[in-house]
A and B are shown apart, each in its own frame.
Chain A
Amino acid sequence: MNKPTLHLNPRHPALLAGFDNQLDVLVSLEAPVEQMVDRTPLNLAIVLDRSGSMSGQPLSEAKRCASFIIDRLGPNDRAALVTYDSGVELLVPSTTVTDKERFHVAIRSIDSRGMTALHDGWLMGAGQVSPHIATNSFTRVILLSDGQANVGLTDIDEIANQCGELADAGVSTSTYGLGQHFNEELMLAMSKAGRGNAYYGVTAEDLMDPFQEEFDLLSSLCAKNVRLTLSTPPELNAAVLNEYTQDAIGRYVLPDLAAGGEAWAVVRVRIPAAYSGKGEGDVKAHVVAASVEYRDLDGVEHNPAKVTLELPSLISSAWQAVAEDERVASRANELEAASIQVQAQRASRRGDWREVNQLLKRARKNARDNDWLTGVADKLQVIANQRDEDRFSKEALYSGRRMHSRLAMAPNYSASIDLDAESSELPSYLRRKMEQGRADRKKRQE
């Protein structure tokens, strides 16, 4: 198998006859197991904040991350280097990465000063990559900031709208927030609309991890511009639980797919009693159909055959005897946890820590025996106990966003690796972190 495959998995393999049913269906686009031999050429703009607040270790670390990206690029890639403070400086115009020393010299020359013209910096980056968009390459602006946009355009909706328009035109945006004072609402909105990733580091030391992760992801891409279309019979009601954006014709925009991963969505389908059958068992009812469109690394559009889910109707005793699909249940729980985290973030911004604690308690209960979800809730509780509003807000929002749109490990891939050694064997973009803003210290020590 060397092409992504589309699957539909219901939480229950049957409908309960004579009753209203609520059924979660996992829609997943699985990447092939094989690693890409040649990764897609990258067309990147690295846009670094060098405002006064970045002085010292944050700027040193940001420069180290930029150098890291440059070192991983090759002569088939393009890169531009932009810095911004009160204004914007184009340090290296977009060029093929044949002379890395040119980039390193420019990176070493960056010093800190001024305020934060974040939008201008981002736009300069977009201007650098846009002439070089090609169907067989991947174009992205990588924007780093530790502060609030306070020069030039600062309106979140307007900036996000521009990110969305440029994403439609082929320029995606990933954002990296650093420290306590960056605007997480802006950075998340930009990356969501810009169809890139959102990362943050609590300290400068935590910044390299997400850079590595993003680069690993870009290096292992196998499908981009993934669009999902769903349809149900008119009697049914369906909603996607993930917070994916929809394009102009209603298709859900899924994350780009990388080797070993699966892009997924949970669809909650409400089926009225009249549609649930009479427990015939052998007669199947059509529940949901899904189709995807995506582009491969050469830019060729693919539209694999539509997949349909049809389920039998069972009487109560037979229905209760069949087990639910744990993977689907786990994903639905994950999305519930993500929603709770976003509610907790809002409560923390209101200063309502009592509500935060209640929500986190609910999150732990919801996690049941899922160690990861429990761990995430515990980490959030530690921050909540410190009444650190900025830190809690960032961690809860990034964690929620990640759960809503992360690439999961594809079943065919998990079957091919030793799961006991998950942290070292898994590609970084498939790892599930307990804390979004903290580097994986264990990995770092290794």
Chain B
Amino acid sequence: MNWTRRYRYWEGTASELAATLANIARELGHEDDGVSPSVRLVRHYVQQGMLRRPQKRGREAIFGFRQIVEFLVARYLAQDGWPLAKIGELNRSTKLPLLLDLVPGGSRQNRAQRLVVLFQEQAQPKNRSPSIRNSSHSPGHMPSAIGSPKEMLHLDANFEVPAVPSRRDTLVRLELAPWCHVFVDPEAIRQLSRQSIEQLGRVLAQSLILEQQNTGDSK
């Protein structure tokens, strides 16, 4: 699997970032550039403005996918003789999908595909609908508005899968009954524990009961 997809929603501390970068470097065959990712190097790059500052969450500083890409671009360009200040400027001013262009083996998508993903991500927080009432569709069709009952939103924090919007065109349809189809993100399902799956089942049951009540009210 492409590392960009695997780490797309990755988050971690400086030491976790260094370990992750070492894994990716091995995967991409970049181990022989003479510099091993380390916490010290990560912090140095942050100070130099080559990596974005991490988010503060309590007492921890959390890095994300953006900094993974920035680090890889920085290593690659530094080897190519770029001044550090220029690398920092490029990392700060370039959109993520285009930055991926600069990482050897960084993306298997073309530029248009990366732009579409970027625009979808920019648009999704504004578009998410909290309702599933409009999602009745004939078999084989994608729902026009994929949402969640309120109860499920409360449970997000307990899930291992980050609460990020799924790309609608990558969802898989599970036919639980001829009259009940569930659309899932295969990537998210892969990361779920047994406990979370059972929790999801309870949410589905709650949703069906609520829907039944709502239907009854409307009659």
Contacts and interface: CB of A to CB of B under 8 A. Distances in A.
A126 B116 contact: yes
B134 A87 contact: yes
A93 B168 CA distance: 12
Interface string B94-133: 0000000000000001111101100110110011010000
B79 to A, nearest CB: 27
Interface stretch (B81-89, B137-145, B152-160): B137-145
Nearest to A94: B169
Interface in A155-187: 162, 165-166, 168-171
A90 interface: yes
Given A169-B115, A171-B112, A85 B144 contact: yes
Contacts of B120: 123, 127
A151 B111 contact: no
B168 A124 contact: yes
B134 A114 contact: yes
A152 B121 CA distance: 12
A152 B126 contact: yes
A329 interface: no
A251 B110 CA distance: 24
B169 A169 contact: no
Given A90-B169, A114-B134, A127 B123 contact: no
A162 B119 contact: yes
A127 B169 contact: yes
Interface residues on B, range: 20 to 34
B149 to A, nearest CB: 17
B115 to A, nearest CB: 6
Main secondary structure of the interface of A (DSSP, over half): mixed
Given A87-B134, A123-B119, A153 B126 contact: yes
Contact of B144 (A86, A131, A139): A86
B127 A169 contact: no
Given A88-B144, A123-B120, A133-B110, A165 B169 contact: no
A249 B146 CA distance: 42
Contact of B127 (A126, A139, A152): A152
A93 B173 CA distance: 15
Contacts, number: 83
B116 A93 contact: no
Contact of B110 (A93, A123, A131): A131
Contact of A170 (B110, B138, B142): B110
Contacts of A93: 169
Contacts of B110: 130-131, 133, 169-170
A123 B129 CA distance: 17
A109 interface: yes
Interface string B161-175: 000000011000000
A87 B143 contact: yes
A85 B141 CA distance: 15
Nearest to A117: B127
A127, A139, A152: most-surrounded residue (chain B CB, <10 A)? A127
A69 interface: no
Contacts of B145: 86-87
B120 to A, nearest CB: 6
A119 interface: yes
B119, B120, B122, B123: most-surrounded residue (chain A CB, <10 A)? B119
Interface in A227-256: none
A32 to B, nearest CB: 30
Contacts of B116: 123, 126-127, 130, 166
A355 interface: no
Contacts of A124: 168-169
A151 B127 contact: yes
Contacts of A162: 115, 119
Interface of A: 84-91, 93, 109, 114, 117, 119-120, 123-124, 126-131, 133, 139, 151-153, 162, 165-166, 168-171
17 contacts: A86-B144, A87-B146, A89-B143, A90-B141, A90-B169, A91-B141, A120-B127, A123-B116, A127-B113, A127-B169, A129-B112, A152-B123, A152-B127, A162-B119, A166-B115, A166-B116, A170-B110
Given A120-B127, A128-B169, A152-B126, 10 more contacts: A86-B145, A89-B137, A89-B143, A93-B169, A109-B138, A126-B119, A127-B120, A131-B109, A153-B123, A162-B115
- Rank and list the top 8 A-B pairs by shortest CB-CB distance, nearest first: A87-B144, A130-B112, A87-B145, A169-B112, A169-B111, A127-B116, A152-B127, A130-B113
